[in-house]
Amino acid sequence: MIGPEHVPIYDSHRRTQIKPLDTPDLPTVRKTLISRELERTEAALDKIREETP
C-alpha cells in the first residue's frame, strides 16, 4: 500500500529519473526505459494525491 508518507520517496525518485533524460547522448533504449519508469512513478504520485484529502 502506498500512502502519503511515501510521497517524499517517490518524488525523489522522480527527480532522479528526470535528470538523465536531459543527457543528449543517452541511448534511445535507456531513454525509453527511464521514461517508462518515470510514468510509473508519476502514476503512483497521482494516485496518492487523489486519495489524500
Torsion of the alpha carbons at 37, 5, 47 and 32, rounded to the nearest 10? -10
- The number of domains in the chain is 1
Tell me what pLDDT residue 27 has.
Answer: 95
Q: How far apart (Å, rounded) are the C-alpha atoms in residues 35 and 13? A: 12
Tell me what pLDDT residue 26 has.
Answer: 92
Close Cβ partners of 7 (under 8 Å, ≥ 6 residues apart) = 45, 48
| Burial of residue 7 (number of CB atoms within 10 Å: 0-12, 13-18, 19+) | middle
Tens-binned pLDDT, residue by residue, of the chain (53 aa): 777 888 899 999 999 999 998 888 999 999 999 999 999 999 988 988 888 77
Tell me what pLDDT residue 35 has.
Answer: 94
Residue type, 43: A
Tell me what pLDDT residue 37 has.
Answer: 94
User: Which structural domain range is residue 36 located in?
Assistant: 4-51
